[in-house]
Every structure is written in structure tokens, then in C-alpha cells.
């Protein structure tokens, strides 16, 4: 059928059509605000972050210790058995060097997001965070990193209580 | 297997453009109308409508399924919208399939629409909110991060280089030059062009990525007896499969899409396919980024783990190769209006199996094709297998 | 004759105005665990497909589908999200079993309305961006317009609407699941703050948090697993024109068409006689009346009279919303229809406790997606 049809519908416009007001359009900025209940598992996670610690949970059935914590084991579909304090260092599972912001504007300093497997948790159990105090070209998968915390007075119980993870020898 | 047979009997699509003049409703209408015209049916012949469309934040309408419903032909008809992120484009026909296979409907219209350009200043902004609101969003993540993290892990696991992957972008953008609706078809693009393009989030470069796009696609599905009256070339839905992995993506090894494998196995079992490499003649895997085509070919069990780049380099996946992959030009070449992009792939298989793909037609007489989409947080695999004859 | 499918398990959490102690995941988990226990199934082993119901802007997360599998036991299983009414999700689960490809499917819907800080702005965001949003009116004006036209054309009165409120909130006093049971009088409703004339504050159902999970099974499995499977007799769903300019302001045509489809499947010709009771969307007081008429439970204009006569009370000839409806239980956003269905299940099983209806065999649940939509779905069950 694509062979038979000559003209497909759809008119493409250009940026200038909008800036020069050649087309009519309406604008709207939604006011969409939420306050999500942290709940039991993440509530505890955040409270621990405020104290400068990372906490995970363990399922005795499949014997995984996971982070971020959850009240149920999604594999066994049963409640988790115990809270386990984890280390605040780990290993880089994967990373990227990001040069642009979400609106595609170039950043002055590149950001280095990474998935960091936290020591004390089962293999492969990582969290998303940023790397810092490191030359982007030096970052390697498998690199050992440690959390750099905000001072206690500045910690509020958020993932950003950890500023970033930096390499350790 | 005792299941009611369902066929695709018509298809239609709009051009995929950067910023469409048409509203989302109008895009949906154009595609739906073309699909109905292609098999000479009218809205009166349609028993129900299944719409697939991805984040509401793009079009800038909450409950956008409702807003699009009349454009999609659902005036005073049973209407449902399914939504599995990027996997939606291939899930929508699966939803259409269960509408008809249930026995309650004979004809179902499947429509997928996306108007990403409404989201200003950049549609990427809509993706900021896909991350966990408490454990991830405060870090200021953007969509490129997760692709880059996954691509890096994949490359590292198999010792791949950018040039191995860039071949996919080149193949697909060149294929797209023959697609009348394509946004980014380029018959002359080379691997050097891709490797020289701006680094966005290493290892992702600009030409590794498919662009933000507006567009819509529609299919008409019919039950066996009705399908045979409508067309002498019905394309049968042989198998469907879908699977969703855990939301805790940082607890998974991203080098391999297990959920794609599970979805594929479900579809292969339903279709009675035991040797996919031999029995699937055309493949349209989801390719929003070039490495994803490779990642998905492996998940679909059409390439051994780590071997997809070699198949590409050897020309196996070229249009004239042994197993053509993305003969349409894929998302990299035609464009990526998320849900519509997935359905475009299903439409491509439909046209290819009927010999109606014009300049994109793969040689030989392909009998069975597979389309796959992917989405959420590296999480969902949706697979559909179509076959002609019998 | 479609395959026979039954509900073999239900589970729920809430319903309350606030649920600060649990995240949405933990809330869903609670409802899921109860439903699976009730059904006697292990989701990891027995449930072949899962359907959840969610809208991004209701949750505050794009592609909310991402966040559902873990707490439902659905990891690496077929899961999909329906952005629609809870009953649409239920029907999607039913359709999958009818295909013959699956035997046991679960459906989930929830509301964490308490987590939404700007609900009316988000509702406005659902309106047509070119024709309607620029008017910058609180979207409840749509209900005001419709209520006004409905009262005018049918002769129903604000007092009759107020009786619906009084009835439902009173019913809710006997329902431990309900969040807003109260003894109020017609005067209280008529004198309450006007929101969008003639819709007053008490004509509107207040929002609540709640989570509901149901497990459906094809006949052989249903009979194996459950002592009291509740059979699906008919389903129907329909969308009318989304456009405000083109819609019928008196009649809920989406409801009429949805019901027609369900009645046809169930072989029902005189609903008032052949059904024993109904749980019908009452997001706004007048909606219960309008929907009753659209569902052919009575003629246009008669619903108000039936309420006046007490015919739709719990002890009446045809109880409507014995649970208390949304007015009494709390509005669960898109999960409301599933809350209506939950009550039908509990009544048919004889598990409705203090507000149990005697000798019921067949019930109807009808859900509407709320403003600004014209989207509804109906399900008929029997024991």
C-alpha cells in the first residue's frame, strides 16, 4: 500500500513558523503538584540517609540483600525479613558522561551519572547517583567509589544528602 | 491452539514530522481514515477502538486518550487506551488482538498517535518525570542517562566499539530514504558521520539517537471470516507476547533485555515457532538508539548474545540480507513518535508480507515477520508475529 | 455464548482520606496480598497476566506503568496498563481470558488522591487545550452545566439530588470500608457552599485513597479454586463525544450504550426486574439519577421520584449504592468503578456484613471516568 499512495498526510512546520507567528497556537502551563507519601521502606531509607547511612533489606527466602529498600521481595512475593545497614562505598556498574541538559543545552561541566553497586548488598544491587571529584576520562566500570556526604546539619533525609560518589584507591 | 484467528486487513499512517501542523486528534484521524480506506471499510464497520499513545506530558493533555478518542473513531463506540511506555506501539495491536480474539468483536480499529512537539521548550522535559520521584528525580536525571548507562554496559560486556554500533544507524537511515513518511532518511550517511556527531551523553552521540517526532499510524484488525471477505491477502496475527521487568532497574544488569526474551518466547510459543532464526523472515525491532537494535535482536533470540554487531557488519541484517532488520528505516530513519513508531513497524511487516512496500520491499517472498517494541525504564518488551498465507 | 469467567478473589486497602503511612507501592501490595490469598493463587506461579489502571498525571509520574509490577508479584510477566476506568481494566482482563490464551488474570486500580496537591488544575489539564482551557474556569463548571440541563429537562429537583447524598452517606455508616459515612439532611446539602450552580459542595463526592485488586479465572480454574465464584454475565463500555460543544447535556449516552452491550450479553431485557441491585457511579449527586435512567432502570425523569419514594434505599425495592457509593465511601478517581464492582462481589458472596442485602443473585456495577470525559463501563455479575 505504501507503494500505491503518493501523498501521505501530515504537514511539517518549522521553528520560524512559530516565532514569526505564521501559525496560530495556544499555550498552557499546568500546575501539577504532588506530595508523595514516602511510606515504610523509603521513609526509613531517607531517615537513614539523614543520619549519613545507607540501609537495605534482606529476603531470607531468595537470600538477596537489596537497595533501595522495599517492604516486599518482588521475586518471592513475600515480606522482606530484615533491615540491613550497608556500606557507603561500592563499585561502578555502569556510567555515562552527560554534556547536555534535558532541554539539550550544553552544560558547562559534564555530569557523570552512574549505577553504583553498594557494598553490603547482593551483587548487582545498585542505586543511581552521580560521580564527582574525578576526571570523566578516568571513570571505568568496576571502579571503587565512596559517598561524599553533605555535613550533618545540611542533611534533610533525601538522596541528595549524598553529594556524589568519588573514587577511592 | 484453538484461538480465534485475527488478521490485519488494512493500515494507514501520516508522515512523521518534527512538528506537525495537525493537532493530535487530526493526526489520529488521518491515520485511522487511511487505514479504513485501505480496506474499503467505514466507521460503521468498526466494533471497537483500541488506542495506544505514550506520555500525556508530550501532547499536553491529561487523560489524553479521552481527548484523542473521537479523532481515533471512537464516537459512541467501545474504546480503551493501553499504555506501556515505548512498548505501546506494539502493545496496541496486541490489545486489538484480544478484543477480536475474545469473540466479542469482529472488527477493531487500532490507532497510535504521538504529538511530542507540543511539549515546550523541549519534549525531553516530559521524560524528567519517568524517574522515581524520591530516589532519582532530585538528582536531575535526563532520558539520555538511562540509554547511555545501558549502552555503556552493553558495549563493555562484549568489548564493542562505537563503530560496530554506528553501522545500525547507517543501515536504518539509508533504508529510510525509501520510506515516503520518513523524517530522517539519508541515502548517503556514513559511519564517520555518526562517529563525528556531537557527544550528548557518552557513549551516546547525536546520530545514534532518533529524533522527537509527531505522527500517527492505524491498523484495522478483523476476525477470520470477516477478514477473508475484506481482503484476499489477510496478514494473520500468529503470536503475541509481552513482559514487564522490575521497576528497580538499578538492580538489574542492563547488558541484556531479559524481558524482551520473555515476551519473545511467549509469542514464539503461541505461533508455534521453534527456530526463530530460520522461521522469522523479517524483523522490525525497536531502534530508538542504534545499539537498541542489537540489544533487542539478542533478546529476541535472533542473534546469540554479543553477536548482533557481527551479523550487522556481515550484512545479514541488510534489506537484501538473510534476515532483513528494520527494512522500513526504523525509528532512526523514519522518526520516533513513540507509540506511532512501534505501530509503524507492525504496519511495515504488514506491507512487506503483502508485497506492498514499494522500494523498501525485501527480496524473496517473506512469509513471517516480527515487530517488537520496548519502553518504560528499560523494562517492557512487546512482541507481535505476523504471517501471510494459511 | 462467551466462555464463563468468574471473580475468584478480591483484596482492598483503604479507603481513607489520608494514608500517609504507606507509599502507593505498599498500598497496592496490601490489596494484592489479600486478593491472592482470597483467590488461593501464587502470583509468581499461577497468574498469567496482570492489568493495572493508571494515568500519569494522577500519579505525578510519566509512564507510571513502570512502577507497578513489583508490588503485584508481576515481575517478568505480562503486565499492561489501561489508562481508563477501573472497569475498563477489569474488562481488559476478562477479554484476555475469553481469548483462551490465559486462564487467570489479575486487575488492579488505586487512588492516592491525598498525594495530589492541585487536583482541579490537573482536571482542567484534561480539557481541550484550544477550545475550552482558555476559558480558565474551574472544570466543575461542566458538571454544573450538565446538572442544570438535566434538572431542567427531566423535572428532577435539587431536593431529589440531595436525597441521593443523604441516602448514600447514610448507607456508608454501615460500611467499614467507607471513608465518609454521615447522617445528613436534605437541608444540609441545599445550604452547602455553591461550587458551580446548581452543584453544591455536598453534591460532590469527596476524594479518598484506596487500592483494589481482583483475580479473574476461567470456569475450570474458578471452580477448582473458589467455593463461591462470582460469574461475569455481561460487560459493556462506550465513549461518547469528548467535545463539550457536541455532547448531549441531558442524557448519559455513554452509559446507555455501555449498558445496552452488557444487557445484551447477559440476556437482560427488563433491568429493574432482572437485576437485584446496582452500584452506580455517583461522583456527583445528580449523576446517580442520570445514570439510573441511562441504564434503563427507569424512564427519564423517574429516577428522582424513585429516590423520593425510598425505592433505592437498602431496604427498598431496588437498592442503589448500598455501599454508600462515592458520596459515602469516597471517590477513588479512576478506581471508583472497581470500588462499585467490589461491593457487588461482596454482596453476591454474602460478605457485606452490616449492610448485606438479602437474597441477591445478580448485580450491576457502572463506572464513569469523571470530568471532563464521557467514558463509562458496565459489568453484570451473578453468584
For an interface test with A, the pick among C11, C19, C26, C113 (most A C-beta atoms closer than 10 Å) comes out as C26
pLDDT in tens, B182-211: 999 999 999 999 999 999 999 999 999 998
Chain B / chain C CB contacts < 8 angstroms: 196
Residue in chain B lying closest to C78 (CA) = B243
Residue in chain A lying closest to C76 (CA) = A75
What angle (nearest 5°) sits at the alpha carbon of residue C65, between those of residues C64 and C67?
A: 70
The phi, psi pair for C66, rounded to 5°, reads -55, -35
Q: Which helix (H) or strand (E) holds C158?
A: helix C158-172
> B231 pLDDT exceeds 50?
yes
Contact B129 C98 (CB under 8 A): no
Contact C80 B377 (CB under 8 A): no
Chain A / chain C CB contacts < 8 angstroms: 78
For an interface test with C, the pick among A29, A36, A80 (most C C-beta atoms closer than 10 Å) comes out as A36
pLDDT along chain A (169 residues), means of 10: 78 91 91 95 97 97 97 97 97 96 89 97 96 95 97 97 94
Min Cα distance C68 → chain A (Å) is: 11
Min Cα distance B126 → chain A (Å) is: 9
Pairing of β C104-112 and β C79-82: unpaired
Mean pLDDT of the B302-322 span: 96
Min Cα distance B284 → chain C (Å) is: 21
pLDDT in tens, C296-326: 999 999 999 999 999 999 999 999 999 999 9
| Domain ranges, ordered by start, for chain A | 39-167
Contact B152 A141 (CB under 8 A): yes
Total number of domains constituting chain B: 1
Q: Going by C-beta distance under 8 Å and a sequence separation of 6 or more, which residues neighbour residue C191?
A: none
How high is the pLDDT of residue C1?
56
Residues of chain C below pLDDT 50: none
- Answer yes or no: is B10 within a domain: yes
HEC per residue, chain B: CCCCCEEEEEEEECCCECCECCCHHHHHHHHHHHHHHHCCCCHHHCCEEEEECCCHHHHCCCCHHHHHHCCCCCCCECEEEEEECECHHHHHHHHHHHHHHCCCCCEEEEEEEEEHHHCCCCHHHHHHHHCCCCCCHHHCCCHHHHHHHHHHHHHHHHCCCHHHHHHHHHHHHHHHCCCCCCCCCCCCCCHHHHHCCCEEEECEEHHHECCECEEEEEEEEEEHHHHHHHCCCCEEEEEEEEEECCCCHHHCCCCCCHHHHHHHHHHHHHHCCCCHHHHCCEEECCCCEHHHHHHHHHHCCCCCCCCHHHHHHCCCCCCCCCCCECCCCHHHHHCECHHHHHHHHHHHHHHHHCCCCHHHCCCCCCCEEEEEEEECCCCEEEEEEEEECC
For chain A, the chains sharing at least 3 beta-carbon pairs closer than 8 angstroms are B, C
The CA-atom distances, in angstroms, between B96 and each of A142, B184, B343 are 45, 30, 12
Q: Go through C167-197 and write b for each residue having 16 or more CB atoms within 10 A of its CB, e for each that does not.
A: bbbbbbbbbebbbbbbeeeeebbbebeebbe
Residue C50 in contact with partner chain A when CB distance is under 8 A: no
CATH code (residue B14):
3.40.47.10
Residues in C closer than 8 angstroms to A38, CB to CB, are 23
3-state secondary structure of C289: helix
Residue in chain A lying closest to B26 (CA) = A10
Residue C186 in contact with partner chain A when CB distance is under 8 A: no
Domain containing C65: what range? Answer: 5-117+208-225
Nearest beta carbon to residue B245 from set C76, C99, C101:
C76
Nearest beta carbon to residue C238 from set B63, B70, B77:
B77
How high is the pLDDT of residue C310?
97
Contact B358 A2 (CB under 8 A): yes
Contact C57 B60 (CB under 8 A): no
How high is the pLDDT of residue A102?
84
For chain B, the chains sharing at least 3 beta-carbon pairs closer than 8 angstroms are A, C
- Answer yes or no: is C128 within a domain: no
Assess whether the previous peptide bond of C372 is cis (omega < 30° from 0).
Answer: yes
Contact criterion met (CB below 8 Å) for B116 and B337: yes
Distance, C-alpha A57 to centroid of its chain: 19
For chain C, the chains sharing at least 3 beta-carbon pairs closer than 8 angstroms are A, B
Q: Where does the pLDDT of residue B126 fall: very low under 50, low under 70, confident under 90, or very high at 90 and above?
A: confident
How high is the pLDDT of residue B1?
44
Residues in C closer than 8 angstroms to B379, CB to CB, are 66
Residues 41 to 70 of B: which have CB under 8 A from any A CB? 60, 62
Residue in chain C lying closest to B243 (CA) = C78
Nearest beta carbon to residue A33 from set C19, C69, C118:
C118
Contact criterion met (CB below 8 Å) for A57 and A69: yes
How high is the pLDDT of residue A111?
96
How high is the pLDDT of residue A2?
65
Residue C120 in contact with partner chain A when CB distance is under 8 A: no
Nearest beta carbon to residue A32 from set C23, C125, C133:
C125
Residue in chain A lying closest to B138 (CA) = A160
Chain A / chain B CB contacts < 8 angstroms: 179
Min Cα distance B11 → chain A (Å) is: 8
- For C129, the grid coordinates are 487545550
Contact criterion met (CB below 8 Å) for A100 and B201: yes
Phi-psi region of B8 (alpha: psi -120 to 50; beta: other; left: phi over 0): beta
Total number of domains constituting chain C: 1
Q: Which segments of chain C are extended strands (E)? A: 5-16, 49-53, 79-82, 104-112, 194-196, 199-200, 209-218, 230-239, 277-280, 362-368, 375-382
Residue in chain C lying closest to A72 (CA) = C71
Residue C115 in contact with partner chain A when CB distance is under 8 A: yes
- Answer yes or no: is C20 within a domain: yes
Residues in B closer than 8 angstroms to A30, CB to CB, are 60, 62
The CA-atom distances, in angstroms, between C331 and each of A106, B11, B91, B165, B301 are 46, 40, 30, 51, 46
3-state secondary structure of C123: helix
Name the β-bridge partners of A108: none
- For A65, the grid coordinates are 540483600
Residues in A closer than 8 angstroms to B231, CB to CB, are none
Residue in chain A lying closest to C30 (CA) = A72
Residue C350 in contact with partner chain A when CB distance is under 8 A: no
Residues in C closer than 8 angstroms to B99, CB to CB, are 95
- Answer yes or no: is C15 within a domain: yes
Residues in A closer than 8 angstroms to C21, CB to CB, are 37, 39-40
pLDDT in tens, B77-106: 999 999 999 999 999 999 999 999 999 999
Mean pLDDT of the B135-160 span: 94
Contact A2 B214 (CB under 8 A): no
Residues in C closer than 8 angstroms to B77, CB to CB, are 238-239
- Answer yes or no: is C101 within a domain: yes
pLDDT in tens, A4-20: 777 899 999 998 998 89
How far apart are alpha carbons C334 and C314 in whole angstroms?
A: 25
> B370 pLDDT exceeds 90?
yes
Min Cα distance A58 → chain B (Å) is: 14
- Answer yes or no: is B84 within a domain: yes
- Answer yes or no: is C280 within a domain: no
Contact C82 B82 (CB under 8 A): yes
Min Cα distance C136 → chain B (Å) is: 15
The average confidence (pLDDT) of chain B is: 95
For an interface test with A, the pick among B59, B119, B134, B158 (most A C-beta atoms closer than 10 Å) comes out as B134
**Helix then strand then coil, % of chain C, to nearest 5:** 40, 20, 40
> B260 pLDDT exceeds 80?
yes
Residue in chain A lying closest to B118 (CA) = A27
Contact C88 B55 (CB under 8 A): no
Radius of gyration of chain C (CA): 19
Residues in B closer than 8 angstroms to C237, CB to CB, are 78-80
- Answer yes or no: is B278 within a domain: yes
Chain A: residues touching C (Cβ < 8 Å) = 26, 28, 30-43, 70-72, 74-77
How far apart are alpha carbons B302 and B58 in whole angstroms?
A: 33
How far apart are alpha carbons C166 and C184 in whole angstroms?
A: 6
What angle (nearest 5°) sits at the alpha carbon of residue A98, between those of residues A97 and A99?
A: 120
- For B348, the grid coordinates are 511495515
How high is the pLDDT of residue B122?
86
- Answer yes or no: is B194 within a domain: no
Amino acid at each position: 500500500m505504501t507503494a500505491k499512495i503518493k501523498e501521505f498526510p501530515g504537514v511539517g512546520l518549522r521553528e520560524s513558523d512559530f516565532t514569526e507567528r505564521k501559525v496560530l497556537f495556544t499555550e498552557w502551563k499546568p500546575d501539577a503538584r504532588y506530595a508523595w507519601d514516602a511510606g515504610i521502606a523509603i521513609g526509613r531509607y531517607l531517615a537513614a540517609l539523614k543520619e549519613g547511612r545507607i540501609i537495605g533489606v534482606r529476603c531470607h527466602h531468595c537470600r538477596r540483600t537489596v537497595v533501595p529498600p522495599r517492604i516486599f521481595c518482588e521475586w518471592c512475593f513475600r515480606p522482606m525479613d530484615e533491615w540491613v545497614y550497608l556500606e557507603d562505598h561500592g563499585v561502578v556498574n555502569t556510567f555515562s558522561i552527560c554534556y547536555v541538559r534535558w532541554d539539550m543545552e550544553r552544560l558547562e561541566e559534564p555530569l557523570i551519572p552512574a549505577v553504583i553497586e553498594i557494598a553490603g548488598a547482593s551483587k548487582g544491587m545498585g542505586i543511581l547517583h552521580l560521580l564527582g571529584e574525578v576526571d570523566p576520562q578516568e571513570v571505568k566500570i568496576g571502579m571503587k567509589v565512596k559517598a561524599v556526604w553533605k555535613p550533618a546539619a545540611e542533611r534533610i533525609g533525601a538522596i541528595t544528602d549524598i553529594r556524589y560518589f568519588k573514587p577511592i584507591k | 491452539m484453538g484461538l480465534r484467528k485475527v488478521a490485519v486487513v488494512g493500515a494507514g499512517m501520516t508522515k512523521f514530522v518534527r512538528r506537525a501542523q495537525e493537532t493530535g486528534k487530526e493526526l489520529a484521524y488521518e491515520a485511522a481514515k487511511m487505514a479504513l480506506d485501505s480496506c474499503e471499510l467505514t466507521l460503521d464497520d468498526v466494533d471497537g477502538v483500541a488506542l495506544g499513545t505514550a506520555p500525556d506530558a508530550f501532547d499536553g493533555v491529561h487523560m489524553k486518550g479521552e481527548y484523542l478518542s473521537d479523532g481515533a473513531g471512537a464516537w459512541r463506540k467501545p474504546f480503551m487506551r493501553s499504555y506501556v511506555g515505548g512498548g505501546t506501539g506494539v502493545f496496541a495491536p496486541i490489545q486489538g488482538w484480544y478484543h477480536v480474539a475474545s469473540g466479542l468483536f469482529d472488527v477493531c480499529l487500532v490507532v497510535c498517535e504521538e504529538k511530542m512537539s507540543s511539549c515546550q521548550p523541549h519534549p525531553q522535559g516530559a521524560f524528567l518525570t519517568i524517574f522515581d520521584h524520591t530516589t532519582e528525580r532530585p538528582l536531575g536525571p535526563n532520558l539520555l542517562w538511562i540509554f547511555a548507562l545501558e549502552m555503556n554496559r552493553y558495549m563493555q560486556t562484549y568489548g564493542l566499539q562505537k563503530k560496530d554500533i554506528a553501522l545500525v544507524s547507517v543501515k536504518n537511515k539509508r533504508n529510510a530514504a525509501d520510506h515516503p513518511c520518513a523524517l530522517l532518511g539519508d541515502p548517503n550517511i556514513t559511519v564517520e558521520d555518526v562517529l563525528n556527531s556531537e557527544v550528548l551523553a557518552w557513549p551516546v552521540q547525536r546520530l545514534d539517537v532518533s529524533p522527537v517526532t509527531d505522527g500517527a499510524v492505524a491498523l484495522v484488525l478483523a476476525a477470520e471470516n470477516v477478514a477473508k471477505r475484506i481482503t484476499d491477502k489477510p496478514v494473520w496475527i500468529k503470536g503475541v507476547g509481552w513482559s514487564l521487568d522490575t521497576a528497580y532497574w538499578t538492580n538489574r544488569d542492563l547488558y541484556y533485555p531479559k524481558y524482551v526474551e520473555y515476551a519473545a518466547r511467549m509469542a514464539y510459543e503461541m505461533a508455534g515457532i521453534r527456530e526463530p532464526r530460520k522461521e522469522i523472515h523479517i524483523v522490525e525491532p525497536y531502534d530508538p538508539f542504534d545499539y537498541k537494535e542489537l540489544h533487542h535482536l539478542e533478546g529476541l533470540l535472533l542473534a546469540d548474545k554479543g553477536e548482533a554487531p557481527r551479523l550487522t557488519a556481515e550484512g545479514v541484517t541488510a534489506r537484501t540480507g538473510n534476515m532483513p532488520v528494520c527494512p522500513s528505516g526504523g525509528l532512526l530513519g523514519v522518526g520516533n513518535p513513540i507509540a506511532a513508531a512501534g505501530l509503524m513497524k507492525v504496519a511495515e511487516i504488514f506491507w512487506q508480507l503483502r508485497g506492498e512496500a514499494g522500494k523498501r520491499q525485501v527480496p524473496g517472498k517473506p512469509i513471517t515477520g516480527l515487530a517488537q517494541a520496548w519502553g518504560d525504564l528499560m523494562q517492557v518488551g512487546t512482541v507481535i508475529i505476523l504471517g501471510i498465507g494459511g | 455464548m462467551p466462555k464463563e469467567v468468574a471473580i475468584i478473589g478480591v483484596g482492598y486497602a483503604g479507603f481513607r482520606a489520608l494514608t500517609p503511612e504507606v507509599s502507593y507501592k505498599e498500598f497496592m501490595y496490601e490489596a494484592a496480598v489479600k486478593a491472592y490469598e482470597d483467590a488461593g493463587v501464587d502470583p509468581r506461579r499461577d497468574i498469567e497476566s496482570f492489568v493495572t489502571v493508571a494515568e500519569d498525571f494522577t500519579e505525578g509520574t510519566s509512564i507510571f506503568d513502570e512502577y507497578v509490577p513489583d508490588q503485584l508479584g508481576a515481575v517478568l510477566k505480562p503486565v499492561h496498563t489501561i489508562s481508563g476506568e477501573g472497569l475498563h481494566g477489569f474488562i481488559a482482563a476478562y477479554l484476555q481470558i475469553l481469548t483462551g490464551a490465559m486462564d487467570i488474570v489479575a486487575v488492579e486500580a488505586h487512588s492516592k488522591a491525598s498525594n495530589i496537591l492541585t487536583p482541579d488544575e490537573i482536571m482542567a489539564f484534561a480539557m481541550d487545550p484550544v477550545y475550552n482551557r482558555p476559558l480558565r474556569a474551574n472544570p466543575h463548571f461542566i458538571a454544573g452545566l450538565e446538572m442544570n440541563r438535566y434538572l431542567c429537562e427531566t423535572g428532577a429537583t435539587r431536593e431529589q439530588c440531595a436525597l441521593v447524598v443523604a441516602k448514600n452517606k447514610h448507607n456508608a455508616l454501615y460500611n467499614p470500608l467507607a471513608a465518609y459515612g454521615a447522617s445528613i439532611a436534605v437541608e444540609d446539602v441545599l445550604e452547602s457552599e455553591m461550587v458551580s450552580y446548581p452543584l453544591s459542595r455536598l453534591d460532590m463526592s469527596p476524594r479518598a485513597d484506596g487500592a483494589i485488586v481482583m483475580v479473574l479465572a476461567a470456569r475450570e480454574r474458578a471452580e477448582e479454586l473458589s467455593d463461591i465464584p462470582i460469574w461475569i454475565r455481561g460487560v459493556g463500555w462506550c465513549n461518547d463525544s469528548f467535545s463539550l460543544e457536541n455532547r448531549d447535556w441531558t442524557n448519559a449516552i455513554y452509559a446507555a450504550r455501555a449498558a445496552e452491550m452488557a444487557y445484551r450479553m447477559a440476556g437482560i431485557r427488563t433491568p429493574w426486574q432482572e437485576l437485584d441491585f446496582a452500584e452506580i457511579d455517583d461522583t456527583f449527586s445528580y449523576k446517580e439519577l442520570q445514570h439510573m435512567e441511562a441504564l434503563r432502570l427507569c424512564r427519564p425523569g423517574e429516577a428522582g421520584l424513585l429516590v423520593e419514594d425510598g425505592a433505592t434505599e437498602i431496604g427498598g425495592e431496588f437498592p442503589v449504592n448500598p455501599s454508600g457509593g462515592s458520596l459515602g465511601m469516597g471517590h477513588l478517581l479512576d478506581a471508583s468503578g472497581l470500588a462499585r464492582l467490589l461491593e457487588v462481589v461482596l454482596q453476591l458472596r454474602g460478605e457485606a456484613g452490616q449492610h448485606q442485602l438479602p437474597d441477591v443473585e445478580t448485580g450491576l456495577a457502572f463506572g464513569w471516568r469523571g470530568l471532563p470525559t464521557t467514558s463509562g463501563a458496565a459489568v453484570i455479575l451473578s453468584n
